[in-house]
Amino acid sequence: MNPDHISLHNKQFEPYLSAERLMAAITELAVQLNQEYANKTPLFVAVLNGSFMFAADLMKAMHIPCEISFIRVASYQGTSSTGKVQEVLGLTEDIAGRHVVVLEDIVDTGHTMKMLLDTLGAQAPASLEVATLFMKPECLQHELAIRYVGLSIPNDFIVGYGLDYDGLGRNYPDVYKAV
**Which residues are the active-site residues?**
108
Half-sphere exposure of 83 (CA within 13 A, CB side): 1
Half-sphere exposure of 15 (CA within 13 A, CB side): 12
Report the number of secondary-structure helices (H) and strands (E) in the chain. 3, 10
Let me know: does 133 contact 25? Beta carbons within 8 Å. Answer: yes
The residues facing 8 across adjacent strands are: 11
Closest CA to 149 of 165, 137, 131: 131
Separation of alpha carbons 66 and 59, rounded Å: 9
Residues 6+ apart with CB under 8 A from 56: none
Helix segments in 82-153, DSSP class H: 111-121
